[in-house]
Structure 1
Amino acid sequence: MTPLPARRTVLKAGAAAAAVLLAGCTSDPGRPAPSATTAAPPTASPEDTTFTMGIAATPVTLDPALALDTESYRVTRQMLETLIGVDPATGVPAPRLAVEWNEVNDGRSYRFRLREGVTFHDGTPFDAEAVHTNFERWYHLPEDSQPVEGGLAFRSVFGALASDEGESLYESCEVVGPLEVQLNLTRRFTGLVASLAMPAFAIASPAALKAGKADRLTEERNGNKVSRYGLAPVGTGPFAFANWDQDRVALSAYDGYWGAAGDVRTVVFKTLPHPSARLRALAAGDIDGYDLVTPDTYADLVRAGMQVLQRDPFSVAYLGMNQAADGLKDIRMRQAIAHAVDRKTLIDSFYLQGTTEAKQFIPRSLGVNNETIPYYEYNPDRARELLAAAGYDGGELTFYYPLDVTRAYLPTPEKVYAELSRQLTAVGINIKPMPVPWDEGYLEAVQGTDDHALHLAGISGSYRDPDNFVGPLFGSKTPEFGYDSAQIRSKIARAKTLPEGEDRVDAYLSINEQLARAVPAVPLAFPISALAMGARVESYPASPMLDEVYNLIQLGPA
């Protein structure tokens, strides 16, 4: 594993004594934070106020309600804001568009007081009616405008949309006053407030939603269906949409923003799929920073004198198995695959130092780690025994993996696939490689259809609650896994409703154990992720939950 500096530490290669800390902490949303320990010397306002970020993939849509991917959210976070923010020091809910909230009706309702004096980029007011419009839109979203089956954030959090079978946690969003709303639930949901920090729940201008026919996917961008609104969204954030030209998205500072403006006046996102291309662009000064540093490029960054900023792990990589595929319905086949996987080799070879083996799907930091669950340690001989017991005859298993992308949970997907394929082949499993470019429908291929056997994927957390991981993956039956367990769905739905405490912890421990016994997928790693920044970036709001908004960036001289 490639070594990384300590948490939040940024290394300047040429002189270790000149190490700079890029802060991710602020007590006042909208106000740039000073560095965490050793502050950079005060500088005059930077002459160049453009911040250019290299990203690993082109956004799929700029409508966060319909987005599924990190890069779409990375862009939309700058333009659209959620009711709830994330405290950068603790990860707990913090005020954003809502300044105060209270639980009422025995936890089946929450009342929110909204921030005064906020306007959307189109000049219309942010108020209770706008919040109501957004919640009702999410709940009543037409089927033909929904992305991959089961993938919508609203469905994964609230359980169902109006058109779905089964009861939704969402009942209504009631306008109590001009700047007050009450969110009514069908039953208690302990993680509700925290979940509203997800970028998918950002509040859009109702006027812009209507004008852009947000629920009609009549346009296309880079092979993806989008609405006119999804090409040019309107929110309340510190930056407003400027233009989107294929692999380049530009934003401009919104002069009417309710919070602090910060140093950055223009944001440019430039798609550079290959890690080496991002490294070269940073070294040449073509970009100011990029995310998803890989082990292959880390040493080069240090030698070039670039800054590297580490995030705490808050994602999980997994090897998915679709039980609708031939043979994988037999649990012995899935157990054999799990025993064939050498996690240590994967982590040592392809992940940054600090990455740990995953024995379950919920990160250890959420406090529901189950040390007694079944663990399928690397044991090739046992894998062969289980294959024989299952009657495996050497039939071909398709193995999907993404190309031309870097994810926090998969820094080098092609290399991870190659090693996993080698390990599986070594125990006698016949693998058929199925590479799919990320921008050409990889998520649709593995999450929206059941025409696959194995696949590489992962999930990045957006809020601090165990449901943020097991809910989207296993809270409903999806084509991704073909895992149909009414019991696990019931357990996940119940755990959501339990108040904080021992009973809730026990509920998630039980979920972890049942998932480990059922083996719907093989959790691989809880990865460390890291960003690289150029020398003029003096402070960057790094967040394990990727709640990174660029008005908090502090720039120095070019």
Structure 2
Amino acid sequence: MRTVSTVRTISLLVIVMLLATLLAACSGAATPTKAPEPTKPPEPTAVPVELMKVSAADCAYGGAFKSIEALDANTVKFTLCAPDVAFPSKVAFSAFAIHSSDYLEKTGGTGDLLDKPVGTGPYMLDKWQKGDSVIMKANPNYWGDKAQSPTLVFRWQKEAAARLLELQSGTTDGIDNPGPDDFKVIEGDSALKLYPREALNVFYLGFSNLVKPFDNEMVRQAIAMGIDRQRIVDNFYPVGSVVASHFTPCAIPGGCDGEEWYKFDAAAAKKMLADAGFPNGFETELSFRDVVRGYLPQPALVAQDLQAQLKANLGVTVKINVMESGAFLDTAKTGTLPMYLLGWGADYPDQTNFLDYHFGKGASQQFGTGFTDVHDALSRAASLSDQAERNKIYADANGLIKKHVPMIPVAHGGSGTAFRADVTGAHSSPLGNEHFASMKAGSREQLVWMQNAEPISLYCADEEDGESLRVCEQMTESLLAYKVGGTAVEPSLAEKYEANADLTEWTFHLRQGVKFHDGSAFDANDVVASYAVQWDAANPLHKGRTGTFTYFNALFGAFLNAPK
């Protein structure tokens, strides 16, 4: 009986305790419990970036590239179809500047890309006032040495005398290409300073063999002998200019190897023209753009002198055709201009820049149908690393060019820049790519530069005009660069590079932390995309201003997927 009673007592106690707990819970007096720890958000997972690669099935398509690939975010490898000793010099050129892959996509490869570049350079575009000026502002986030002047203004004026007047009056801080008679004026003015430019250029009289009678090689040879080139240099060029013995200036390795150009002989020229079937001459047209260049300081006067010489020496009647600069360049490369005035300034100091660009397999049709014997010689020379062996082949190429006369090299023109004396860092460049971020206009907040003409567009992958290129060079950058005021190649967007033993694989290690002007990060995919839109004709962004991409075609051969 005692046992049963005890059990009942314990049961009652348990019930009482349970009721007490329930009553405490209802009254809010429950024993507090520790709050659970907040749930941590999941660690963000990095989305892997797909590395770009563009490649050809094989090298039968005729171009220089086998593939371009991003090995990782900061490394790009170019695999070539043949060795190219000049590859670093080509990569440094402004036509191969790196653009944001996102911006290329956004613009569709044209449109805003032509007028509003987004680069990585020390200056960024503020506004392009068409017909008046291009205004740039210093890039506050530039990876290298910051621009010395907060604002950079490019203006233009085709008349040398007017450019000098603006410099003397202080409305500009620097000018390009002073006229032949202005050199002494500048040197005699203590408020100004002249910076002579080495004559790494050539002025030539070009022909198209697609237009009669220039399809006849004897006609071209006769004209080559029938022009007094020394007279042109003596009358229309400044100090430092010389008659061209070869197409390429002698300062370029291999430039003057081989036979010199034809000597002036009016009688022999007249006889050869008669033997070619034109004893009384013929009528033709001479086209040019009235824009001053270092290689051609007085284009209209030179055109008139050539007109007079051809009439007097050969009985050839010439009608002069003055064209707008952009239209002239676009038309010349189609081979439809019978005879024209053009020239070339070095982009980098190698024969490939002069001979391959103009006479190689990838050259435009400006001279008409190319010459296969010249093509073969230039291809062989470009694939060698031994400069002495290259020069032997260039001697042969120079002889073949003299034989075929696609053009007549007239002069290597001396030129220069001039600045107000208080501009620090002022210089001229033998490549015509003056670096304005290095200059400071006294105590003034802006540096004003006056060149010969307005840029045609600011997407310089699809331009070849010097005025366009110089503007682009302040805002966009290539993997490598040329030393300021010089020709040596040095790092830029790539900090270093190396090649394999046979010069067919070139690997570039990119500078990290670089930003485009729009704030986007620079990486290997931007490099691949920038080259791919030029190389691959089937790329939807292969557009530009004309879609010609002349530099790429001339220096790297055929386009991938080129239309049949």
Q: Give the shorter-chain TM-score range.
A: 0.5 to 0.7
Instruction: Say which of 495, 501, 512 aligns to 2:381.
Output: 495
1:236-276 deviation per Cα after TM superposition (whole angstroms, max 9, x unaligned): 10001111111310111000001111421111111212112
The letter for the 1-side match of 2:78 is: L
Question: In structure 1, what is the Cα distance between the partners aligned to 2:72 and 2:336?
Answer: 50
2:62 to 158, 167, 189: 167
1:123: which partner in 2?
none
Measure, in 1, the Cα distance between the counterparts of 2:341 and 2:60: 29
Amino acid in the other structure paired with 1:274: E
The alpha-carbon deviation at position 378 of structure 1 amounts to: 1.1
TM-superposed deviation, 1:340:
1.5
1:487-538, CA deviations, whole angstroms, 9 ceiling, x for partnerless residues?
2112212211111232211111111111111111111111112001112212
Match of 2:320 in 1: 434
Is the aligned partner of 1:193 residue 2:193? Answer: no
**Contact map agreement 1:331 1:519 (CA 8 A) in 2:** yes
Cα pair 2:127 2:136 within 8 Å, conserved = yes
Deviations 1:325-364 (A, max 9, x none): 2122222211111111111111111112111111211211
Q: Residues of 2 paired with 1:129 and 1:327: CA distance?
A: 56
The answer to whether the Cα contact below 8 Å between 2:266 and 2:314 also exists between their aligned partners in 1 is no
Q: Distance in 1 between matches of 2:431 and 2:408?
A: 23
Aligned partners of 2:141, 2:260: CA distance in 1, in Å? 55
Q: What is the TM-score normalised by the length of structure 1? A: 0.66
Percent identity of the aligned residues? Answer: 27
The amino acid across from 1:236 in the alignment is T
In structure 1, the gaps of 5 or more residues are: 1-127, 140-160, 217-226
Give the match for residue 422 of structure 2: 536
- The 8 Å contact of residues 194 and 418 in structure 2, kept in 1 or not, is answered as yes
- Letter aligned with residue 396 of structure 1: E
Q: Distance in 1 between matches of 2:424 and 2:240?
A: 25
Please tell me whether residue 256 in structure 1 is matched to residue 141 in structure 2: yes
Query: What residue identity is the alignment partner of 2:289?
Result: P
Distance in 2, Cα, partners of 1:429 & 1:251? 52
Change beyond 3 A, Cα 1:521–1:166? farther
Q: Which amino acid aligns with 1:253?
A: A
Cα distance in 2 for partners of 1:250, 1:175 equals 35
Asked if structure 1 preserves the Cα contact closer than 8 Å seen for 2:206 and 2:408, the reply is: yes
What whole-Å deviation, never above 9, does each CA across 1:198-235 have from its counterpart, x for those lacking one? 11011111122122222x4xxxxxxxxxx221110011
Q: Distance in 2 between matches of 1:312 and 1:440?
A: 26
Q: Which runs of 5+ in 2 are unaligned?
A: 1-48, 445-564
Q: How much has 1:165 moved relative to structure 2?
A: 8.8
Choose which of 454, 457, 467 in structure 1 pairs with 2:352: 467
- Normalised by the length of structure 2, the TM-score is 0.66
After TM superposition, give the deviation of residue 129 of structure 1 in Å. 8.6
Provide the rounded CA distance (Å) in 2 between the counterparts of 1:231 and 1:428.
47
What are the residue-to-residue correspondences of 1:112-511 with 2, within 5 Å? Answer: 166-214=61-109, 216=110, 227-247=111-131, 248-305=133-190, 306-370=192-256, 372-373=258-259, 375-392=261-278, 393-403=280-290, 405-439=291-325, 441-448=327-334, 450-476=335-361, 478-511=364-397
Instruction: Give how far 1:377 is off.
Output: 0.8
Q: Report SS of the residue matched to 2:181.
A: helix
1:131-153 residue CA offsets vs partner (Å, 9 max, x unmatched): x68xx6xx9xxxxxxxxxxxxxx
The structural deviation recorded for 1:437 is: 3.5
Q: Is the 8 A contact 2:122 2:147 kept in 1?
A: no
Q: Kindly indicate whether the alpha-carbon contact (under 8 Å) linking 1:401 and 1:435 is maintained by their aligned counterparts in 2.
A: yes
- Compared with structure 1, are the counterparts of its residues 460 and 370 closer, same or farther at alpha carbon in structure 2 (3 Å cutoff)? closer
What amino acid sits opposite 2:152 in the alignment?
V
Worse-matched range after superposition: 329-338 or 533-542: 533-542
Which amino acid in 2 is paired with 1:409? Answer: Y
TM-superposition CA deviations, 1:401-450 (whole Å, max 9, x none):
212x11121111101111111111111333333333343511122222x3
Match of 2:545 in 1: none
Distance 1:552 1:397 in 2: 47
Contact map agreement 1:188 1:497 (CA 8 A) in 2: yes
Structure 2: which amino acid aligns with 1:506? K
Alpha-carbon displacement from aligned partner over 1:41-61 (angstroms, at most 9, x marks no partner): xxxxxxxxxxxxxxxxxxxxx
Q: Map Cα deviations across residues 78-111 of structure 1 (whole Å, 9 max, x no partner).
A: xxxxxxxxxxxxxxxxxxxxxxxxxxxxxxxxxx
| Structure 1 position 556 matched with structure 2 position 442 | yes
Asked if structure 1 preserves the Cα contact closer than 8 Å seen for 2:258 and 2:394, the reply is no
Aligned equivalents of 1:470, 1:372: Cα separation in 2: 14
For residue 180 of structure 1, report the CA deviation from its aligned partner.
Answer: 1.2
Local SS of the residue matching 1:546: coil
RMSD: 2.4
Aligned residues: 392
Secondary structure at 1:295 match in 2? coil
Amino acid at match of 1:298: F
Shift of residue 466, structure 1, vs aligned partner = 0.5
Letter in 2 for 1:243: K
For residues 131-190 of structure 1, give each alpha carbon's deviation from its aligned partner in whole angstroms, at most 9, with x where no partner exists: x68xx6xx9xxxxxxxxxxxxxxxxxxxxx99x994111122111222111111111111
Q: Which amino acid aligns with 1:263?
A: Q
Contact 1:208 1:233 in 2 (8 A): no
Comparing both chains, which one has the higher relative contact order based on Cα–Cα distances under 8 Å and sequence gaps of 6 or more?
Answer: 2
Does the CA contact (< 8 Å) of 2:333 and 2:364 recur in 1?
yes
